[in-house]
Amino acid sequence: MNKQNIQLDQDGGLRHFLTIEGLNRALLTDILDTAESFTSITEQTIKKVPLLRGKTIVNLFFEASTRTRTTFELAAKRLSADVLNIDASISAATKGETLLDTLNNLEAMHCDMFVIRHPNSGAAHFIAQHAAPHVSIINAGDGSHAHPTQAMLDMFTIRRHKGEFHNLCVAIVGDIMHSRVARSQIHALSTLGVKEIRAIAPRTLIPAEAETLGVHIYNDLREGLRDVDVVIMLRLQYERMRGASLPSEHEYYQLFGLTEDKLSLACPDVIIMHPGPINRGVEIESAVADGPRSVILQQVAHGTAVRMAIMSRAMRHKIVVAGGESS
Ligand code: CP
């Protein structure tokens, strides 16, 4: 399957947002610029624009979420769309309805966009392949495959703090093997042209494909942190591990937990990021997570504007303009 074709319209515009792979730098930069223009809306008295008025967006979550689901809902409401939140644990999926039948039923209600989180890699692609022509699909995280909107809000946060991407050295630390966020971040950082991407983890938590993606691998945290501009921490994703990947959490924290002491090896103006949820005392010390170099809560705040940008770009062919709908 050509992932690029399914995500893009004939004119190269965004239709679905499933993965960063296959999207070019101009499109990613356009999303970041659009998100920048949406940030001011959150500071207005009336935090709404009418861009998606009359459209219906469905949040379809088959996995737990705090940040992603709520910021998608907030983003849709700020674009004036109607929003349906479907908790799969109390939907007809529990009675044996297939994913495709769930989609077909919601399409029959004239919904325009589905935001999907699913434990299986490829679920969002599968839905996009079967969606009606007027429907857009946004991947809110599928298995260990991709979490592209998280990667975009992370790129937005990096750009806000560091400006240009090309001089940056970015380290991703922790359970890269099971992380959909890390895969999407690596594609985004690489497309946006960062100087160096480092993957820092025990050997058992580095995926085989990391080197082919142009990532420099470190199995020693102190060595890997030297002179980095950005550190992205990841939690241990036990829900996707098969068998034990680590001797113990205690040993992991001793070797790979981010502490103030280890962080002193990075650039003085380093920023600390984490997609959340954070596990204090497992991958990160509280003093670092809550310290002056942490931008973890800024990432969450940026999620709304970035998701507004992605949703409005994917629906641009159906956006209401004065006098009717745009082409
Ligand atoms: N970063 C992230 O995906 O968090 P949630 O699981 O809370 O949505």
The reply to whether ligand 1 has any atom less than 6 angstroms from the CB of 239 is: no
Task: Looking at the structure, tell me whether residues 73 and 199 fall in a common domain.
Answer: no
Task: Looking at the structure, tell me whether residues 135 and 154 fall in a common domain.
Answer: no
State the average pLDDT for the chain: 92
> In testing the pocket of ligand 1, which one of 63, 65, 156, 238 has its CB within 8 Å of the most ligand atoms?
65
Task: Looking at the structure, tell me whether residues 47 and 133 fall in a common domain.
Answer: yes
pTM over 0.85: yes
Tell me the average pLDDT across 233-248.
Answer: 81
The reply to whether ligand 1 has any atom less than 6 angstroms from the CB of 67 is: yes
- Contact present, 307 and 149 (Cβ < 8 Å): yes
- Contact present, 257 and 215 (Cβ < 8 Å): no
Give residue for tokens 């938590």. Answer: 205
Task: Looking at the structure, tell me whether residues 114 and 246 fall in a common domain.
Answer: no
The reply to whether ligand 1 has any atom less than 6 angstroms from the CB of 71 is: no
Helix axes 180-191, 25-38, angle to 10 degrees: 100
Q: Whose CA is nearest to atom 3 of ligand 1?
A: 68
> In testing the pocket of ligand 1, which one of 59, 66, 279 has its CB within 8 Å of the most ligand atoms?
66
pLDDT tens-digit readout, 92-144: 778 888 989 999 999 999 999 999 999 999 999 999 999 999 999 999 999 99
The CA distance from 165 to 149, in Å, is: 18
Task: Looking at the structure, tell me whether residues 202 and 290 fall in a common domain.
Answer: yes
- Among 31, 75, 114, 115, CA closest to 301: 75
Task: Looking at the structure, tell me whether residues 97 and 52 fall in a common domain.
Answer: yes
Tell me the average pLDDT across 247-260.
Answer: 92
Task: Looking at the structure, tell me whether residues 267 and 189 fall in a common domain.
Answer: yes
Task: Looking at the structure, tell me whether residues 170 and 272 fall in a common domain.
Answer: yes
Task: Name, in order, each residue with C-beta under 8 angstroms of 243's C-beta and a sequence gap of 6 or more.
Answer: none
Q: Measure 324 CA to ligand 1 centroid, in angstroms.
A: 37
- Among 187, 156, 202, 159, CA closest to 38: 156
For the chain, the C-alpha Rg in angstroms (whole number) is: 20
Confidence of residue 2 (pLDDT cuts 50, 70, 90): very low
Tell me the average pLDDT across 220-231.
Answer: 98
Q: Whose CA is nearest to atom 1 of ligand 1?
A: 275
Task: Looking at the structure, tell me whether residues 32 and 129 fall in a common domain.
Answer: yes
Domain count, the chain: 2
- Give pLDDT, residue 1: 42
Ligand 1 nearest-atom number relative to CA 275: 1
pLDDT tens-digit readout, 285-314: 999 999 999 999 999 999 999 999 999 999
Confidence of residue 319 (pLDDT cuts 50, 70, 90): low
Q: Which domain holds residue 156?
A: 148-300
Task: Looking at the structure, tell me whether residues 167 and 259 fall in a common domain.
Answer: yes
Q: What is the CATH number of the domain that holds 293?
A: 3.40.50.1370
The CA distance from 282 to 171, in Å, is: 18
- Picking from 103-112, 226-235, 236-245, which range would have the lowest pLDDT averaged per residue? 236-245
End-to-end CA distance of the chain: give it in Å, rounded: 28
> In testing the pocket of ligand 1, which one of 63, 68, 184 has its CB within 8 Å of the most ligand atoms?
68
Q: Whose CA is nearest to atom 5 of ligand 1?
A: 65
The reply to whether ligand 1 has any atom less than 6 angstroms from the CB of 148 is: no
The CA distance from 23 to 19, in Å, is: 8
Q: Which amino acid is at 178?
A: H
Q: Measure 90 CA to ligand 1 centroid, in angstroms.
A: 20
pLDDT tens-digit readout, 171-220: 999 999 999 999 999 999 999 999 999 999 999 999 988 889 999 999 99
Q: Is the pLDDT of residue 3 over 80?
A: no
The reply to whether ligand 1 has any atom less than 6 angstroms from the CB of 70 is: no
Q: Measure 146 CA to ligand 1 centroid, in angstroms.
A: 12
Task: Looking at the structure, tell me whether residues 60 and 79 fall in a common domain.
Answer: yes
Task: Looking at the structure, tell me whether residues 9 and 115 fall in a common domain.
Answer: yes
